[in-house]
Amino acid sequence: MRDRARRAIAECRRIAELTEEPGRTTRRYLTGPTCQVHELLRQRMESLGMAVHVDAVGNLRGLWKPANSSGKRLLIGSHIDTVPDAGAFDGVLGVTLALEWVGISQELGLTLDMEIVAFSEEEGVRFNLPYIGSRAVAGNFDPAWLALKDEDGLTLESAIRSFGLDPAKIGEAAFDAGTIGYVEPHIEQGPVLEAENLSVAAVTAIVGQTRMSVRFTGHANHAGTTPMRLRHDALAGAAEWIAAVESLALRTDGLVATVGKIENEPNVGNVVSANSRVSLDVRHEDDPVRKSAVAALLEQAEAIAQRRGLIVEQKQLSEQAAAPMDARLTDFMGEAIGEAGLPVKRMTSGAGHDAIVMAARLPTAMLFVRSPGGISHHPAESVREEDVAASLEVARRFLEQLGREVG
C-alpha cells in the first residue's frame, strides 16, 4: 500500500498548488481553481475507467460500475474547497484516497459499484453556509439558499450559473437509489491519535454544531474627548462577551466554543467603535448541552449590551445536530482496523464533515487518519506515509467485508 499512499499524498500536494492566492492555499467554492482541481481528478477517474460528470452544485462525481455489477453502490469521498491559507490534506486526502479505494475494489473484483464524490463546498467560507455540496447529494438543498451573497455581492445562484451549471437541476444531484452507504476518509484535524501514537480510528459520531453571527451596536465618538463612563463602545462590549464565551467553554466538559471572526466599524484607532460583528461556533456531542450553552451565551450578550448601553442582535447561520455514524458500518471499520493488525480506536469527531449531512440520509462511516502535531486548517498540516498506507490496508479489509455482504 506504500505506493498507493505516496500517490495519494503527492496528489494532495499538487492540488494544494491550485489556489486563488499565490504562495498559500485558498480555494473557495466555485472559484477558478476549482476547475483545475476538477480536471486533475477527472483524468485520474477516467484512468480508472470511471464515468465522470459535474452535478448542478459543482460536485465532481465519478462512477465505477463493474461488468458484474450488483446494482448496489458505495459513495465515498470528501470536499475540495478550503479555508484561507489552508493545508494540503483537509478534505482533499479523502478524495485522493477514494481513488485508491476504487483501485482496491477493482483488484478485489467486487460487484459493488463505487461512486466518488469530490464535494465542491464544505467549509462555508464563501457564502457562510457549510456543506453546500453534500446537502445537494443528500437531497435536502433549500432553493432559498440561492439568494445568499458572498462578500462581493454575488449570489449563490449567480456563482453556480457562472460556473456553467443550472441551479434548476440541483435536485438531480441526489444520490442514486441503489446507494447503500457513504464512507469518508479524513484526517483527524486534532491531537488525539498523535497523543496515543495511533495511525487511524473509526469515528462513532460527529459533534453537533451551532454557528451564529452576533452584532453589538453602540455609538461612534472621539476617542480623546469621550470619557470612559460615557461611552457606548461596541468593540469593548464584544470583547467582554468573547471572554465570557471562552470562560463558559472552559467550565463545561467537552464543550468547545470559538469566536474566530470580528468585523469592526469604523475600525479606526482614535474612534470609539460603533458596530462590532463577531462569529460564534459552539460544538458538543450532546445536543442539549450545546443548546443550553448557546442560550446562556446569548443571555450574557444581552446583559453586557444592557449594562453598556448597546444593542445586540444575533443571527443563526447554521445548526447541525450531533450525528451518530451507522453502527454496522462502524463495526465493519473497527473490525477492518483490527484485521489490518492495528489497535482498534473508536472516537468522536469534534470537527464537522460532509458525513454529518450524509448520515441523516444514508448509513455512514468515517475513518480518521492521524494529523501529526494535531495541526489542521494551517499550512503546516501534514500526514505520514505510513499512516496513509495503514488507512488503505483498513480500506481493503473494509471493502472485503462489505463485498461479502453485497455478494
Domains of the chain in sequence order: 2-206+322-406 (3.40.630.10), 208-320 (3.30.70.360)
In the numeric block, the cell 449594562 is attached to 307
> Pick from 253, 245, 134: which is nearest to 186 by CA?
134
- % of the chain beyond a pLDDT of 70: 100
What is the rounded distance in angstroms from the CA atom of residue 283 to the CA atom of residue 357? Answer: 16
**pLDDT score of 320:** 81
DSSP state of 166: -
Mean pLDDT of 296-319: 96
What is the rounded distance in angstroms from the CA atom of residue 118 to the CA atom of residue 344? Answer: 28
- Taking all residues of the chain, what is their mean pLDDT, rounded to a whole number? 96
Q: 58: burial class by Cβ within 10 Å (0-12, 13-18, 19+)?
A: buried
**pLDDT score of 8:** 98
Given a contact cutoff of 8 angstroms between Cβ atoms, the answer to whether 79 and 358 are in contact is no
One-letter amino acid of 236:
A
Mean pLDDT of 267-274: 97
What is the rounded distance in angstroms from the CA atom of residue 220 to the CA atom of residue 232? Answer: 8
Mean pLDDT of 52-74: 97
Residue 407's pLDDT band (cuts 50, 70, 90) = low
Q: Which helix (H) or strand (E) holds 385?
A: helix 385-406
Mean pLDDT of 301-328: 95
The answer, as to whether pTM is greater than 0.85, is: no
Mean pLDDT of 386-390: 98
Mean pLDDT of 104-131: 96
Reduced 3-state DSSP string for 80-117: CCCCCCECCCCCHHHHHHHHHHHHHHHHHCCCCEEEEE
Under 8 Å CB-to-CB from 277, ≥6 apart: which residues? 213, 214, 215, 216, 262, 263, 264
What is the rounded distance in angstroms from the CA atom of residue 27 to the CA atom of residue 125? Answer: 9
What is the rounded distance in angstroms from the CA atom of residue 23 to the CA atom of residue 226? Answer: 44
Under DSSP, is residue 136 helix (H, G, I), strand (E, B) or coil? Answer: helix
Mean pLDDT of 334-362: 95
